[in-house]
Amino acid sequence: MYGPIDNTLKKLEGVSVRIGEDCVGCGACEKACFVNAIRINDGMAEISEACRGCGRCVNVCPNHAVSLEISGHGVPDRPLERLA
């Protein structure tokens, strides 16, 4: 765990995390999430509203079961602006 920093990192509008059926509940994504937005429940990861859309969970999933979905609206040209 990296500790709570949820007040300094704003959620990216239009970005959501999706857990696919390939999830085996290994917990890699849960450990990588620094806002504690992921829990393993009944052998599968679940994403809470605390998710900021950073994508750390996507990068650590050994089964490629986690993905980011980006809508066509509200995604900033410079994502680092969310660290304001």
Q: Supply the mean pLDDT for the chain.
A: 83
Quote the pLDDT of residue 75. 46
With 0-12 / 13-18 / 19 or more C-beta atoms within 10 angstroms meaning exposed / middle / buried, residue 17 is buried
Percent of the chain with pLDDT over 90: 56
Which domains occur in the chain, in start order?
15-77 (3.30.70.20)
Check pLDDT > 60 for residue 18.
yes
Q: In this predicted model, which residue has the larger pLDDT, 37 or 3?
A: 37
Quote the pLDDT of residue 14. 80
Q: What is the mean pLDDT of residues 72-82?
A: 55
